[in-house]
Structure 1
């Protein structure tokens, strides 16, 4: 009978400790995601540097800029700009000098939030 009680006690301790470690991992993941998001600061389209607006006007004239974010990537100032043209949505990453670093085609608006 004692052996059975010991088995249940050790099983309960193991279950509680496993659950605690899993919760800590989730909290650490949330903190890392929040740090990433905090790096981006929303700016108005009018606040974009002239080089960025020039690139948008030349390469994406058919699109309308909906939102823009200022961030730092590899110690350089960059801008994330969300553009829309009819049903087409894209997200463009441009550095402060107007060079396009990355472009992502996104079909649904809810994916670019």
Structure 2
């Protein structure tokens, strides 16, 4: 063995450092994957909770907050955009339709309620 050559101990220590660095990088990557999956799971739990809290029917009030402009299903995107909606029961939704409150043309709650004109 030449004078400038590393000893067997030096080579083993070097090999250990390389393996340790690779292991740390691999663990960091796995930790990132775990974090992504945890965020996905949390988003699914949040969506499920939001769906449980969503009413079946909502009425959309006018700008003056007195007149009812539309009847929507609880999952209607148009109702979600307006921000002027209040939940109602099935009976209240049927009553609104009987009192000529227009049904949303997007979600068609009258069809789901079995009320067709």
TM-score (norm 1): 0.46
Which structure carries more helix by proportion? 2
- Determine which structure has more spread, i.e. the larger CA radius of gyration: 2
More relative contact order, 1 or 2 (CA 8 Å, 6+ apart): 2
